Amino acid sequence: MFFNRLIGENMDIPVSVGPMNEGERVRGPDMYVELAGPKSYGFELTRVVDNASDKVEIIGKDIDKMEEGSRTPFAVIVNVSGDSLEEELEGVLERKIHEIFNYIEGVMHLNQRDSLWVRINKDSFNKGLRLKHIGEVIKEVYKGEFPFIKHVDVIIITDPDKVKEELEKAREIYRKRDDRTKNLHEEDVDVFYGCIMCQSFAPTHVCVITPDRPALCGGINYLDARAASKIDPEGAIFEIPKGNCIDEVKGIYDAVNDVVYEKSQGAIKAIALHSVLDKPSTSCGCFEAITFYIPEVDGFGVVDRKFKGETPLGIPFSVLAGQCSGGQQVEGFCGMSIAYMKSSKFFQGDGGWERITWMPKELKDNVKDVIPEDLVDKIATEEDVSNIEELQNFLKERGHPIVEKWESMATVEEESTMKEEHMEEYEEKGEGAESVEYIEESTESQGSEITVPTMYLPGGFGGLPSDVKIILKNAVIKVEEIIIVREGNSKNKDN
């Protein structure tokens, strides 16, 4: 393993470095310092330049000058140079920073770009670990792992004003990168790309990256992935043939499913690129935002990592994240990048923007340009509503298109009530059903649970007598597989 060679021969670092440290968490009480993170600011950025010179530079204090338990703005800029380096590799090389930090004993790195979050634990600090060591590790791993990189400069900034100044420049670079795939679509290409870099944390997670769907970490778009797989075909990013399209709107492709099945070790049988409700993509934990189903309005909310308040469900981003991370495929929840919201295929399999009902104000302002104009004022934020009831009222008042769907749902409900009454009539007359069972409403939704507004189970269900009818109303059900039998007995099987 190149790490042993690298750390043993080239460097003098007081802690261990290697994959065995991946997945290590640094909790509050063990933390010596926190760098960037949700309560501060910072970023990481890799750039291809002409003239890197193998230097490691610290602008601001190293951690031995920081107070124990403190928090500091933080930036890492990695400049690389080499003959075959293209700008398109920047995103993928930048994503490597995440892995490298996590290889270092006692260091935890979460997220990416301008949401990075680093903690260093007391043990490693006491062993003598400093930022300059981290800079050296980044430099050596870049050069060791990517032979086409000839020189690397690592600039670590902890001076708050300097971080702030450079942060704006970095954001502009991220924006430009994301814009490069704007005019490219799934129908224009024959291959997609997959990434399994996060399997050390989420063993069944596979990101499928298409021109319309950048990776959920927000760090790798289609062109980044293409450049990475070209330069390192055996690496964590690989080509996926598109194969035959099974469902164009949801974005289901047979060959993609085969690769996802194989790379998830058989855990995930199929994914729909553009659906939250039906076979959503798996989520590792690095997602920039989560789209989540709100059964009471039959629509969706979107919450991003930066939002610290509660969603209308009464829970914050962190709790939602816990429900759908780790490489799981959880119907009703899907981790994604903010850039995906700018895609014309943004969850089109579920109705796209027409079903988005809530998002944090800051995020809404951020993506305002891509929200269909007539919907902008119909999507609520934390400033408009704070719970489901208020959300329902807001959507009604503003005439959100989802409300029309409620009306048709109400017709179904009405019909169901009529059927119930009818059955009661039968009961009185002793002609039909003996009893009607209800499973009472529950507002909790977690894990692999789904919520059904109204659902009839067929006579004889679960071995009950065929004349016992079961109707589920707003029921939360935990299932591995559902088979819904429609009128005419055509079967629609879903995992």
Tell me which residues touch ligand SF4 (CB under 6 A).
95, 195-198, 207, 215-217, 219-220, 284, 286
Q: How far is the CB of 193 from ligand SF4 (least distance, A)?
A: 9
| Contact status: 198 vs Zn ion (CB under 5 A) | yes
Pick 286 or 471: Cβ nearer ligand SF4: 286
- Kindly tell me which residue out of 35, 97, 284, 363 binds Zn ion, with binding defined by CB under 5 A: 284
Pick 115 or 158: Cβ nearer ligand SF4: 115
| Contact status: 237 vs Zn ion (CB under 5 A) | no
Partner from Zn ion, ligand SF4, none contacting 379, C-beta within 5 to 8 A by type = none
User: Which residues in 95-202 belong to E strands, given as ranges?
Assistant: 107-110, 117-121, 151-157, 191-195
Cβ-proximal residues to 87 (8 Å cutoff; 6+ apart), any chain = 48
Partner from Zn ion, ligand SF4, none contacting 13, C-beta within 5 to 8 A by type = none
Q: How far is the CB of 340 from ligand SF4 (least distance, A)?
A: 12
Taking every pair of Cα atoms in the chain, the longest distance, rounded to a whole number of angstroms, is 91
- One symbol per residue from 146 to 185: x for binding Zn ion (CB under 5 A), - otherwise; what is it? ----------------------------------------
Q: How far is the CB of 281 from ligand SF4 (least distance, A)?
A: 9
Pick 81 or 210: Cβ nearer ligand SF4: 210
Q: How far is the CB of 7 from Zn ion (least distance, A)?
A: 25
Pick 222 or 353: Cβ nearer ligand SF4: 222
Pick 158 or 337: Cβ nearer Zn ion: 337
Partner from Zn ion, ligand SF4, none contacting 110, C-beta within 5 to 8 A by type = none
Question: Strand 491-494 vs strand 151-157: parallel, antiparallel, or unpaired?
Answer: unpaired
**Hey, what are 123's tokens?**
């043990």
Can you name the residues that pair with 438 across neighbouring β-strands? 471
Q: How far is the CB of 495 from Zn ion (least distance, A)?
A: 23
Q: How far is the CB of 229 from ligand SF4 (least distance, A)?
A: 12
8 A C-beta contact, residue 231 and residue 148? yes
Pick 129 or 217: Cβ nearer Zn ion: 217
Side-by-side strand order, sheet with 436-439: 436-439, 469-478, 449-457
Partner from ligand SF4, Zn ion, none contacting 330, C-beta within 5 to 8 A by type = none
Tokens 């399999």 locate to: 349
Pick 102 or 124: Cβ nearer ligand SF4: 102
Interface size with Zn ion, residues (CB under 5 A) = 3
Partner from ligand SF4, Zn ion, none contacting 100, C-beta within 5 to 8 A by type = none
The rounded distance, in Å, linking the Cα atoms of 337 and 355 is 18
Q: How far is the CB of 106 from ligand SF4 (least distance, A)?
A: 22
Q: How far is the CB of 397 from Zn ion (least distance, A)?
A: 39
Stretch that binds Zn ion, among 33-41, 146-154, 277-285, 324-332 (CB under 5 A): 277-285
8 A C-beta contact, residue 348 and residue 247? no
8 A C-beta contact, residue 82 and residue 90? no
For residue 424, the SS3 value is helix
Can you name the residues that pair with 469 across neighbouring β-strands? 436
8 A C-beta contact, residue 168 and residue 42? no
**Quick one: which of 34, 36, 3 has its CA closest to 21?**
3
**Quick one: which of 70, 180, 155, 172 has its CA closest to 114?**
172
Can you name the residues that pair with 334 across neighbouring β-strands? 291
Amino acid at 379: I
Partner from ligand SF4, Zn ion, none contacting 197, C-beta within 5 to 8 A by type = ligand SF4
Partner from ligand SF4, Zn ion, none contacting 324, C-beta within 5 to 8 A by type = none
- CA angle 478/483/489 to nearest 5° reads 150
Pick 36 or 220: Cβ nearer ligand SF4: 220
Pick 208 or 277: Cβ nearer ligand SF4: 208
Backbone angles phi, psi at 94, to 5 degrees: -65, -40
Sign of torsion over alpha carbons 309, 311, 314, 317: negative
Q: How far is the CB of 207 from ligand SF4 (least distance, A)?
A: 3
Q: How far is the CB of 194 from ligand SF4 (least distance, A)?
A: 8
Residues 132-149 as b/e (b if ≥16 CB within 10 A, e otherwise) read ebbbbbbbbbbbebbeeb
Q: How far is the CB of 360 from ligand SF4 (least distance, A)?
A: 22
Pick 192 or 353: Cβ nearer Zn ion: 192
Can you name the residues that pair with 154 across neighbouring β-strands? 56, 78
CA 233 to chain CA centroid, nearest Å: 25
Helix, strand, coil shares of the chain as percentages rounded to 5?
40, 25, 40
- Kindly tell me which residue out of 286, 334, 371, 379 binds Zn ion, with binding defined by CB under 5 A: 286
The footprint of Zn ion (CB under 5 A) covers 198, 284, 286
